[in-house]
Amino acid sequence: MDILGYQRENGTFGIRNYLLVIPASVCAVEVANRIAEKVGAVSLPHQHGCCQMGADFRQTMRTLTGFGKNPNVGAVLVVGLGCEGIQSGEIVDEIQKTGKPVEAITIQEWGGTTKTVAKGISIAQELVKKLSAVRRTPFSVCHLILGMECGGSDPTSGIVANPAIGIASDRLVACGGSSILSETTEVIGAEHILAERFPDLKEREKFLTMVAAVEKRALAAGEDLRGSQPTPGNIQGGLSTIEEKSLGCMHKAGDTAPFLGALAYGEEVPPEKPGLYFMDSPGQDIDSITGMVAGGAQLVVFTTGRGTPTGCPIVPVIKITGNPETYQNMEENIDINGGKVILGECTLEELGAEIFEKMIAVTNGEDTKAEKLGHREFGIYRIGFTF
């Protein structure tokens, strides 16, 4: 299999070559956006980075640094206000471990918006020059990490689109690559089946604890989980319970590869041990994709029954629907029409092969529809309060 990517200083490979401007906190977002826009870089608009504590603080930090470390990013400029909880210097130190160029600038130090934007643009222009010198070279599939997501699900997701992704994921892992199943909420009701696929009992226990923790949160709130899951769109489409949704969602993980581990949200997929992993993330699509990308995924496949437009700032997102009507309705946003299986025009195996081929083409530079439309949604999974 011939795949091409941008080799990074630490031996990883990106399939895109972004300059990423990271605002350390919400206070630096506007300045970061203006710098990124001027030089053709991408920014990460978010609402966090200050007055957080404990595990919640660490998770936000891990997500921001994970985006900087992702191999699709060739260079980074961190923009801080100066006084916020997440300090630019700490982000820089962590990302610098990859060896890629990282610079930082703070608004309070440079004396306000205008001066910081001007200084940021001149730093960013230098970084862009460095990046434009990098060329695509062949790399081994063992460096490729796929994130798998489903959102706006309907019954066709569980019957067609998710099993087809499962076929592609199994094939990627069999070739030596890595794949991540996420969305802990959408494991409730299917955990007994997935747990059996963790050969390592410690990792199996970790996985089951993650699922139990999410359910406990709903129970502790004294609320019916059905207030949020399945969503109104899921229900309108014909999904009745979280168990039904989960039993469809789990097919994304295919059925041959074992789970090598259960990762925390945004935790790095171990580079020395490629394979299938589970990541603890919410059922909300944007937060979930963000976690997998922070963990190193360079590519995402996303199934949707109802149709959804969302993408990611630094990673191509390939959309697949199993619903032929949805494909007709939202063809602008959806890359692959899996509705052909429902209509009896192709088999699940053929659809799985089509998804795999699309993954290779996108890895080699083909734009996804979300990329063409400029979709760059980003969201950090918060697990605590803002004080």
Which lies closer to another protein via its Cβ, residue 19 or residue 341?
341
Which lies closer to another protein via its Cβ, residue 26 or residue 193?
193
Contact string (CB under 8 A) for another protein, positions 186-205, x = contact: --xxx--x------------
243 forms part of the interface with another protein (CB under 8 A): yes
d(CA 75, CA 285): 26
240 forms part of the interface with another protein (CB under 8 A): yes
* Smallest separation, CB 335 to another protein (Å): 21
Which lies closer to another protein via its Cβ, residue 62 or residue 340?
340
**Token reading at 104:** 């930082």
* Smallest separation, CB 210 to another protein (Å): 14
SS3 102: strand
Q: Binding segment for another protein among 17-25, 47-55, 174-182, 218-226 (CB under 8 A)?
A: 218-226
* Smallest separation, CB 228 to another protein (Å): 9
- Count the residues of the shown chain that bind another protein, applying the rule CB under 8 A: 36
12 in Cβ contact with 71 (< 8 Å)? yes
- Kindly identify the residues of this chain, within the stretch 123-162, that bind another protein according to CB under 8 A: 154-156, 158-159
Residue 301, beta-bridge partner list: 148, 318
- Kindly identify the residues of this chain, within the stretch 314-353, that bind another protein according to CB under 8 A: 323, 342-344
* Smallest separation, CB 190 to another protein (Å): 7
274 forms part of the interface with another protein (CB under 8 A): no
d(CA 244, CA 251): 12
* Smallest separation, CB 364 to another protein (Å): 35
User: Could you tell me which residues come within 8 angstroms of residue 190 by beta carbon, excluding any fewer than 6 positions away?
Assistant: 243, 246, 247, 249, 250
* Smallest separation, CB 244 to another protein (Å): 4
134 in Cβ contact with 107 (< 8 Å)? no
SS3 104: strand
238 forms part of the interface with another protein (CB under 8 A): yes
221 forms part of the interface with another protein (CB under 8 A): yes
Q: Binding segment for another protein among 60-68, 93-101, 185-193, 367-375 (CB under 8 A)?
A: 185-193
Which lies closer to another protein via its Cβ, residue 154 or residue 285?
154
Nearest to 98 by CA among 5, 6, 12: 12
* Smallest separation, CB 218 to another protein (Å): 4
167 forms part of the interface with another protein (CB under 8 A): no
User: Could you tell me which residues come within 8 angstroms of residue 330 by beta carbon, excluding any fewer than 6 positions away?
Assistant: 307, 309, 321
Which lies closer to another protein via its Cβ, residue 54 or residue 222?
222
Angle at 300 between CA 10 and CA 263, to 5 degrees: 65
Contact string (CB under 8 A) for another protein, positions 97-116, x = contact: --------------------
Query: Is 287 exposed, middle or buried, given 0-12, 13-18 or 19+ CB atoms closer than 10 A?
Result: buried
Which lies closer to another protein via its Cβ, residue 6 or residue 327?
327
- The secondary structure of 151-196, three-state, reads CCCCHHHHHHHHHHHHHHHHHHHHCCCEEEECCHHHHCCCHHHHHC
Which of 90, 109, 200, 215 is the binder for another protein (CB under 8 A)? Answer: 215
SS3 305: coil
280 in Cβ contact with 194 (< 8 Å)? no
d(CA 183, CA 209): 14
Which of 5, 14, 147, 248 is the binder for another protein (CB under 8 A)? Answer: 248
SS3 366: coil
Residues lying near another protein in the complex (CB under 8 A): 154-156, 158-159, 188-190, 193, 214-215, 218-226, 229, 235, 237-238, 240-244, 247-248, 305, 323, 342-344
